[in-house]
A and B are shown apart, each in its own frame.
Chain A
């Protein structure tokens, strides 16, 4: 069995002392920022990117991955105990989880979240190991037109599945693409969009842009409503589930896992969408849907499994195709590129230790999270009492030092200030910055594949339609766009996100 050989290789990499340590650090940090509201995985990973430069690629990716799925985990703790979702993906967990806590069943809710997440994480890791290599094989046969179509589909899908205005999100993607093109043109070396600034010869710095928009910009936004933060954490009694409760959660966990695994693979999917979708499905499946919102254990089990599964499987398009499905994956691609690795189908064959090591570490990380979370819950709760006005100056300091240390360049610090302002303005205008980051990472690749495709076809744009795979991908993109722009769908979509 090749799969087991590969997994054995992965575990041998992941079980090295150094990688175990980085996996642990990642999970710990992830839980920490998941617990702390106002600090998300995107900002944290952006802050830590400079530190990862000195690490071997495997360790770097293991740590960053740990932060991502750790955050899904930590977010649920605060959602349940104080009705304050630390992450957007735990918003729905708060609905029933906090009600359970109010009824004195906080322990059961936490245990459900932990067990559901662990189960979903395990399954999703296996799915990743099972499906990623064949997908990479398929992707190896892709030519430039297919890649171009795939990226277009990815970008379009990320818009249709996000919340907010579709047209604005599309405009943000295009803006990101344009910003991504800044710097030297790869074929001719002509400087583009450098505005005669010498420091822009290599384009806008990825870390500075990400930290500005998701670090500084986010802090300014959080400073808008500082006053409302009185926290009373629910008491945690027994963490044990009764037999009846255990039976109750089996089906929701399974459904959540399947749903999350599937939605995570889709571009634009990932943890948040999975949890929302799972909650509404559990509500439909329930015999008595009125219990939801009043402490239904299914309302915790389903979404928590789904968001963890989605977080894991969203690595599939990133590792096999080199296409990010959400901003966190865009950062991971940035980290890999800085390490000198071009993410894509070749990673599986050329860097098997990296690929399988990261996959194996995810399972180990999930196990660590269960051990880390349940016994230490009291400590995490106490952390919540750290007020935001003490926290954010520290984040600012890390952002500044981090962005400066990438190139020892003060220009990058100014860039971060600029994008911090820009990020805040865009958020005020209800333009989500996430699609911009996706566009920024994909921009140069998209242009390269477009140019290559046109070169092969001798300038015939029909090449995208005559090749079956690219035609199919583009068709899906068009259908997704049309469907989401239909007024009736648009309305229900808005309602779904409001819920």
Chain B
């Protein structure tokens, strides 16, 4: 694909255009109003148009000028950190603070290429104890320690 001279710019351009289309599509159902009394859809529509235009410029620039090659992606980090965050959100209510945090921290440790089981377990233990001390005892956050799935109330 030799006509793409800067893959990063071409991709960003496409992302901006796609997002502009989504926002414009969402703004279309809102009342536009007039320029004197702008409706809720007026400003979003203007901005969507502007973003689409800017995206187009970025795209064209990407076809005209050379840019950096794309670098490798930290797939491991992307996967485990997203997983650990989503798990935290999912498990907070049913499992409670302590087990959820332990799993989240452990999953986060897995994101590193330097993952080591003993270190990871140690980090997990320290973090759970520390967070319990700071957030539950110290700041008194109203969070269940053990959730209903594990026999909490």
Contact = CB atoms under 8 A, between A and B. Distances in A.
Interface of A: 51, 54, 165, 167-168, 170-171, 174-175, 177-178, 181, 185, 187-188, 190, 192-193, 195, 216, 219-221, 223-224, 226-227, 387-390, 392-394, 396-401, 404-405, 408, 410-414, 416-417, 420-421, 424-426, 428-431, 446-447, 450-451, 454-455, 458-459, 461
A429 B16 CA distance: 11
Contacts of A174: 47, 50-51, 54
Q: By DSSP majority rule, is chain A's interface helix, strand, loop, or mixed?
A: helix
Contact of A175 (B51, B92, B127): B51
Interface string B7-28: 0110110011001000100110
A401 B38 contact: no
Interface of B: 8-9, 11-12, 15-16, 19, 23, 26-27, 30-31, 34-41, 43-44, 47-48, 50-51, 54-55, 57-58, 61, 68, 70-74, 76-78, 81-82, 84-86, 88-90, 92-93, 101, 104-106, 108-109, 111-115, 119-120, 123-124, 127, 130-131, 135, 139, 141-143
A421 B104 CA distance: 17
A-B residue pairs, 3 tightest by C-beta: A413-B89, A459-B36, A185-B40
Given A392-B112, A413-B88, A429 B26 contact: no
Contact of B30 (A54, A192, A195, A425): A192
A310 B90 CA distance: 42
A461 B37 CA distance: 13
A177 B43 CA distance: 10
Nearest to A458: B36
A282 to B, nearest CB: 31
A226 B114 contact: yes
A405 B143 contact: yes
Contacts of B30: 185, 190, 192
Nearest to A396: B108
Contacts of A421: 78, 82
19 contacts: A165-B61, A174-B50, A175-B19, A178-B47, A178-B48, A192-B27, A192-B41, A220-B81, A223-B113, A390-B123, A393-B108, A394-B123, A396-B81, A401-B131, A413-B89, A413-B92, A414-B89, A416-B85, A455-B37
A401 B101 contact: yes
Contact of A431 (B12, B36, B61): B12
A451 B63 CA distance: 38
A187 B108 contact: no
Contacts of B16: 171, 175
B110 to A, nearest CB: 9
Given A167-B61, A226-B114, A397 B108 contact: yes
Contacts of B11: 429
Contacts of B41: 192
Contact of A195 (B26, B44, B48, B131): B26
B27 to A, nearest CB: 7
A188 B58 contact: no
Contacts of A393: 105-106, 108-109, 120, 123-124, 127
A223 B112 contact: yes
Contact of A404 (B44, B51, B92): B92
B54 to A, nearest CB: 4
Q: By DSSP majority rule, is chain B's interface helix, strand, loop, or mixed?
A: helix
Contacts of B82: 417, 420-421
A401 B101 CA distance: 8
Contacts of A401: 101, 131, 135, 141
Contacts of A461: 35
B58 to A, nearest CB: 5
Contacts of B141: 401, 405
A15 to B, nearest CB: 25
A226 B112 contact: yes
A455 B90 CA distance: 46
B1 to A, nearest CB: 17
Nearest to B130: A394
A482 to B, nearest CB: 15
B86 A193 contact: no
A59 B78 CA distance: 36
A389 B19 contact: no
Which one of A188, A392, A393, A396 has the greatest number of beta carbons of chain B within 10 Å?
A393
Contacts of A219: 77, 81, 111
Contacts of B73: 224, 428
A278 B92 CA distance: 49
A189 B11 CA distance: 36
Contacts of A51: 139
A388 to B, nearest CB: 8
A165 B124 CA distance: 41
Contacts of A227: 113
Given A192-B30, A410-B93, A414-B86, A224 B77 contact: yes
Contact of A400 (B23, B40, B88): B88
A282 B20 CA distance: 45
A54 to B, nearest CB: 8
A429 B108 contact: no
A217 B90 CA distance: 20
B40 A454 contact: no
Contact of A220 (B43, B74, B104): B74
Nearest to A430: B8
A187 B54 contact: no
Contacts of A414: 85-86, 89
Nearest to A171: B54
